[in-house]
A and B are shown apart, each in its own frame.
Chain A
Amino acid sequence: MLEIIDLKKSFVQPSGEPLQILEIPEFRVEGGEQVVLLGRSGGGKTTLLHCISGITSTDSGKIRFLDQELTKFTEPMWDRFRASNIGYVFQTFNLLPAFTALENVLLGMSFAKDVPDQEYANWLLKRVGLGHRLNHKPDQMSVGEQQRVAVARALANRPRLLLADEPTANIDPANQQGIVDLIKETCKEFNIGLILVTHTMEVAGQFDRIDQLEDINLVSTELAAGMPEFEKGENQS
């Protein structure tokens, strides 16, 4: 379903020199497959997800998804494609503070189709256990609840792939497992492919396929070597 070949991505440093972040010879995800990407902070996990979703451009290589070569897309095509085929859950600040839970989900729908499916949005929020919080705004909900809304919103357009970028990193330990379970179950339920990024084994250990970023990304080891190892014990119980 998703196929990445010879992907290269670098950023221009303030000094003007390019900094290579990603060099991925090959990476595949099958339809409905659940993959955990495990890697240290600064390894380029987020950057990879941005590349897959078209949020950031690539330098070279191919990203193929649902038999379409995304790397040839123009920006508006990417936007449209992302809206209808890729669900995204970020680590923090997922929801728009001015909108209620339900409205956040509807907003997610409105960029993919002309008429948002209100009933499905309701149903999704019930499914993530927030049937009683439809009209709450983000600041009236706990972080865990907010993240559930984010999951519901990511599922709103019945995407084929869900990208979850450290979805539990900012959540209190008691609720972390619930979010992981929710993502796992709903992706299975709707046959959605999943790439979940994390830097902790606790989360990663619950999935069948665990890819070390170092294994797929040729430059990530060098980069991570230069980084302090602060991830251990961070947000962990």
Chain B
Amino acid sequence: MNLLTIAVRSIKQRLLSSTLTMVSMALGVGLVVAVLAIFGIVQKSFNANATLGYNMLIGAKGGKLQLVLNSVYYLSEPIENVPYEYYLEFQNQEIREKEYSGSYSYKAVQHQQVARTTLLTSACGLTSPAGMIAALATDVLIEQHNQQLYPWKREGKYSVFTDFAIPLCLGDYVGPYRVVGTTPDMFSLLKFGRQGDKPYEMNEGGRNFEHFNEANGFFEALVGAVVAEDRNLKVGDTINPSHGSAEGDEHATKFVVVGVLEPTGTPNDRAVFINMEGFYRMSDHAKPLENEEDVFGTNQIAHKITDADYVLPVEKREVTAMLVRMDPLYSIGIENRVNEGNVAQAVFPITEIRRLLDYFVSPVQTLLLVLTVLICFMSGVSILVSIYNSMSDRRSEIAVLRALGARRSTVYNIVLLESMVLSVVGGLMGIVGGHAMIAAFSGVIEDQTGVQIGFFELAPALPVPIPLLSSVSAEFLVIPGLILLAIVVGFIPATSAYKTDVSKSLGK
């Protein structure tokens, strides 16, 4: 009969106390597993953002972290805006010209040009070839001059280094969720996921919003997965963003939901995206100018603007932030240039997020880990107490074993084995229980974080700079850890068994 059998029998003999001890161990280990899993979830949801799909954030001057919280996580208080012209510095000439075409300066220049052409033709006469040549030569000169003078005639300052720049206009809410005014580029150019290669997908029947169409004008919206679930929104529904905060007044302008985003595990699950053009056309949103004629202003309320040709003047536009993907080679230089200017700031969001994680999340993780390890240790102590309490009953059993020829070391090992069995069996129960719990909550977790997690999902490796530890799942450390704990706590009763005075304990 081997020692393990003897140990297991002894455990079975004290079934109630053994079970309670194992349950306490199971709870402790279950908690550890759950905490490790939370680490995994935090890490994964971070990794899902680790490649944001862009590498630079441009926003108004102010706190770097606040810009990141606002523009990446849609958290924190709204911040200042930057002029639309700044955004256009990241665009090519063609786009710039189109965007500027509604601007007051553009229109003024157009007027001048018409006047000048009329003047020239009448002065030189259409019939005189010399006059024609003179007029053409002047035109070429003026054209060259204009390229420097008029912003729509040149490339944006940073445009050659820029893959894309996606504008964000923040400030409105749907319920507690941020409304993000942006362009359709957000979901056609931007990718997400660990490798930054996953395109955003809409649920069945959904699509990206469009810049303009006959049916909805500028007023289309896309809804993040969590928002859709929570607010019970689906394609075809309309939403009224409320101004400034969740409690703010609702705008009268309605946006039609044209798609619901599939869960991404990014903060985008928790936001509503509307067409920036529609955003500006809501009351109070376009930046007011002095002495402007009211193009649509207050009478825009309850009146859907469907005029696709009308371009809102650049002067009336602002953006809160822009998500820029640019050649990493130049990004540091451009960051410097932007920050040296007095209009905007540029930050590298990943750097800021990592800093945030290091300063805030990592200590919390460490604290949690320490707490759960302490809880496990307490379960270990309960094993100690349970075995130790049984020792007085067991003196005579141990004495009988010794009288039968068992050595001191044998009875020592039996008690130690008992401690290990209690601890490991309890621990396995805890691991299974912990995973069952994770599996049970996987739906909620996926909804809240977009992280998919199942019963067989192992916790990630611990973030410690120890080669072996940092390469295997932390859960593989639980069992050796438990055995170690069992040895530590089993030592005391085992020693007591070792020291049993056989002569005194026999037959009692």
Contacts of A116 in B (CB 8 A): 1
**A84–B404 Cα gap in the complex (Å)?**
9
Question: Which residues 20-73 in B have Cβ within 8 Å of A in the complex?
Answer: none
Does B401 contact A96, Cβ atoms closer than 8 Å? yes
Does A98 contact B502, Cβ atoms closer than 8 Å? no
Expressed in whole angstroms, the minimum distance between the Cβ of B506 and any Cβ of chain A is 6
Q: Select A93's contact among B402, B405, B508, beta carbons within 8 Å.
A: B508
In the complex, residue of chain B having the shortest beta-carbon distance to the beta carbon of A75:
B408
Expressed in whole angstroms, the minimum distance between the Cβ of B11 and any Cβ of chain A is 9
Does B405 contact A82, Cβ atoms closer than 8 Å? yes
Question: Which residues 56-84 in A have Cβ within 8 Å of B in the complex?
Answer: 56, 75-76, 79-80, 82-84
**A160–B341 Cα gap in the complex (Å)?**
103
Does A79 contact B507, Cβ atoms closer than 8 Å? no
Contacts of A99 in B (CB 8 A): 9
Interface size of B in residues (CB-CB distance below 8 Å): 24
A168 within 8 A of B: no
Interface 1/0s, chain B 392-428, versus A by CB < 8 A?
0000110011111111101000000000000000000
Question: Which residues 27-52 in A have Cβ within 8 Å of B in the complex?
Answer: 47, 50
A108 within 8 A of B: yes
Q: Select A108's contact among B10, B404, B410, beta carbons within 8 Å.
A: B404
Interface 1/0s, chain B 206-240, versus A by CB < 8 A?
00000000000000000000000000000000000
Does A55 contact B400, Cβ atoms closer than 8 Å? no
A145 within 8 A of B: no
Expressed in whole angstroms, the minimum distance between the Cβ of B397 and any Cβ of chain A is 6
**A71–B508 Cα gap in the complex (Å)?**
26
A91 within 8 A of B: yes
A110 within 8 A of B: yes
**A94–B506 Cα gap in the complex (Å)?**
9
A107 within 8 A of B: yes
Does B405 contact A92, Cβ atoms closer than 8 Å? no
Contacts of A106 in B (CB 8 A): 1
Q: Select A83's contact among B6, B10, B13, B404, beta carbons within 8 Å.
A: B404
B12 within 8 A of A: yes
- Beyond A92-B507, A98-B12, whether A110 also contacts B400 by CB under 8 A is no
Does B9 contact A91, Cβ atoms closer than 8 Å? no
B351 within 8 A of A: no
Does A111 contact B507, Cβ atoms closer than 8 Å? no
Report, as a range, how many residues of chain A touch the other chain.
20 to 34
**A50–B399 Cα gap in the complex (Å)?**
12
Does A88 contact B403, Cβ atoms closer than 8 Å? yes
Expressed in whole angstroms, the minimum distance between the Cβ of B94 and any Cβ of chain A is 88
Does A76 contact B407, Cβ atoms closer than 8 Å? yes
**A210–B2 Cα gap in the complex (Å)?**
41
Expressed in whole angstroms, the minimum distance between the Cβ of A165 and any Cβ of chain B is 7
A214 within 8 A of B: no
In the complex, residue of chain B having the shortest beta-carbon distance to the beta carbon of A87:
B404
In the complex, residue of chain A having the shortest beta-carbon distance to the beta carbon of B8:
A98
B144 within 8 A of A: no
B203 within 8 A of A: no
B146 within 8 A of A: no
Contacts of B405 in A (CB 8 A): 79-80, 82-84, 111-112
Interface 1/0s, chain B 357-371, versus A by CB < 8 A?
000000000000000
Contacts of A23 in B (CB 8 A): none
Expressed in whole angstroms, the minimum distance between the Cβ of B499 and any Cβ of chain A is 12
In the complex, residue of chain A having the shortest beta-carbon distance to the beta carbon of B1:
A110
Contacts of A110 in B (CB 8 A): 1-2
Expressed in whole angstroms, the minimum distance between the Cβ of A207 and any Cβ of chain B is 22
Does A94 contact B400, Cβ atoms closer than 8 Å? yes
In the complex, residue of chain B having the shortest beta-carbon distance to the beta carbon of A81:
B405
Expressed in whole angstroms, the minimum distance between the Cβ of B98 and any Cβ of chain A is 88
Question: Which residues 465-508 in B have Cβ within 8 Å of A in the complex?
Answer: 502-503, 506-508
Does B507 contact A91, Cβ atoms closer than 8 Å? yes
A173 within 8 A of B: no
Contacts of A55 in B (CB 8 A): 402-403, 502-503, 506
Contacts of A93 in B (CB 8 A): 396, 400, 506-508
> Can you list 24 pairs linking A and B with CB atoms under 8 Å apart?
A50-B506, A53-B403, A55-B403, A55-B502, A56-B502, A80-B405, A82-B403, A88-B403, A90-B506, A90-B507, A91-B507, A93-B400, A93-B508, A94-B400, A95-B400, A96-B9, A96-B397, A98-B12, A103-B1, A107-B1, A107-B404, A111-B404, A111-B406, A153-B404
Q: Which 5 pairs of residues, A with B, have the shortest CB-CB distance?
A: A83-B405, A111-B405, A98-B13, A56-B503, A98-B9
List 4 other contacts, CB 8 Å, given A75-B408, A98-B13, A103-B1: A50-B506, A56-B502, A76-B407, A110-B2
